[in-house]
Amino acid sequence: MSKRQRGQEKQANCACKRSRPEPDRKHLYLVLDDWEDGFSIHKIDAADDDADLGQPPVLRLVSPAPAYPMRFAVLGSNIVIVTDPYCGQAPTLVYDTKRTGLAVGPPLPGPLVGDFHASVATAEMLYALSFCQWGQQHSFEVMSRAPPSPRTMGWSWRSVPSPPPFEEDEWITSYAVHPDGHTIFMSVLNNHNMKRRTFSFDTGHVEWRFHGERALPFQGQGYYDSTLDAWVGLREDGYVCACQVAPRSGAMRPEWKIVKEKMFHKVPERKQAASYATLTYMGNARFCLMESVVREEVEYEDAFGDCDGCMLHMTRFGLRYSHKGELQTTIDFTTSSYPLSKHFTDFSPVAFWM
């Protein structure tokens, strides 16, 4: 083969490599209330320990109701944005992270107005529970993409025909999706008598089951990891726990294990700048924990607004069982901290792995 032919072949191979699409690479999409007019969504490379939140966000959202924080949920590769959770006319937005496009969806259904807090995605549907208000029954709503039609919107809400069997004073404290992908477990707390109960909802058969007067050992959402064969979630006391998956029938008596070291709320006298810490599942027993606190040199009443009065601690870690069966973090444990402006005490920074 001549030098010219070899050169042409080399150029062809380089062109082929350049034109070959790169495999999909997941990122953390971090949602912050970091400017006075609304919220920002930042795209972060999880492999970059020097990720800079000072870079422009991928999306900025002007809040239609400055007095109330927006609500965010994930459905597939989409971030669902409830622009005003207290208004039945405000639209829902859907940000497609793959196509980097923003679509306008339908407003919240009546039962969810003012109550869009607990939501979980399964089988390409977003399930959201409304709490009991003014003596009304709890209701269960589901958002999904409607079949393409020139006369219908791309997304729609509908009521689940089987209402939750919760009492008036019961509130969801923790929830998780079963490994089967279509059964949602929920633990509730009765604010009147402080009793806890756990139920599951089968989205396929559209039915509820009672699992006894026990609760899942974590707060908020738990995530199933097949490596650990457990649900992983955060406890109120600052620890991470892995909980045995509950059976789909019968009483729930799950065992759980706790990481020995505190993962958040390590210094109790440091006031938190948000109502709670949040956890994101990144696959293969890897997680991202976020906590926002008031900066040491700043008084709590002066920490909010465009003043970088808070700090965001972002901890990425893996979990494993030791040879003794203890739950422990892996060696690639990293924590990054960033100065942060915050505007809502009842909004916690949240991230989605997509």
Which range, 83-92, 119-128, 319-328, has the best average confidence (pLDDT)? 319-328
Q: What is the pLDDT of residue 100?
A: 92
pLDDT band at 147 (very low <50, low <70, confident <90, very high): low
Distance from first CA to last CA of the chain, Å, rounded? 47
Q: Considering only 114-118, 121-125, 134-138, 180-184, which range has the smallest mean pLDDT? A: 134-138
Tell whether the model's pLDDT for residue 28 goes beyond 60: yes
Residue 317 domain-assigned (yes or no): yes
Q: Give the Cα separation of 339 and 53 in Å (integer).
A: 9
Q: For residue 331, name the pLDDT band (cuts at 50, 70, 90).
A: confident
Cα 353 from Cα 47, distance rounded (Å): 13
Cα separation of 6 and 13, whole Å?
11
Distance CA 343, CA 200 (A): 36
Residue at 263 is within a domain: yes
Using CA atoms, how far apart are residues 304 and 300, in angstroms rounded to an integer? Answer: 8
Whether 274 maps to a domain, the answer reads: yes
Looking at the domain assignment, is residue 133 inside a domain? no
Residue 13 has pLDDT above 70, yes or no: no
Inform me whether the pLDDT recorded for 242 exceeds 60: yes
Q: Give the angle 231-280-123 at the CA atoms, nearest 5°.
A: 70
| 326-330, Cβ contacts within 8 angstroms, sequence gap of 24 or more | 326/257, 326/260, 327/240, 327/241, 327/242, 327/257, 327/258, 327/259, 328/259, 328/260, 329/259, 329/261, 330/285
Q: What is the pLDDT of residues 283-309, one digit of tens each?
A: 999 999 999 999 988 999 999 999 999
Q: How is the beta sheet containing 38-44 ordered, strand by strand?
A: 59-62, 38-44, 28-35, 350-353
328 lies in a domain? yes
Select, from the ranges 10-14, 16-20, 113-117, the one with the highest average predicted confidence (pLDDT). Answer: 113-117
Residue 148 has pLDDT above 70, yes or no: no
Degrees, nearest 5: CA angle 52-54-58: 90
pTM for the model stands at 0.88
pLDDT given at position 259: 96
Length of the chain: 354
Domain range for 266 is 26-56+259-354
Among 114-123, 146-155, 248-257, the least confident range: 146-155
Name the domain count of the chain.
1
Q: What is the pLDDT, as a whole number, of residue 8?
A: 52
Q: Which of 143-147, 261-265, 323-327 has the lowest mean pLDDT?
A: 143-147
**Tell me, what's the pLDDT at 139?**
81
- Residue with more model confidence, 329 or 154: 329
Q: How far apart are CA 130 and CA 157, in angstroms?
A: 13
Percent of the chain exceeding pLDDT 90 equals 58
Name 145's bridge partners: 155
Q: Are 23 and 350 in contact (CB under 8 A)?
A: no
At 168, is the pLDDT very low, low, confident or very high (cuts 50, 70, 90)? confident
pLDDT value at position 155? 85
Domain-located, residue 268: yes
Query: Could you give the C-alpha distances from 285 to 225, 226, 238, 262, 282, in angstroms and in order?
Result: 6, 8, 19, 18, 7
What per-residue confidence (pLDDT) applies to 93?
93
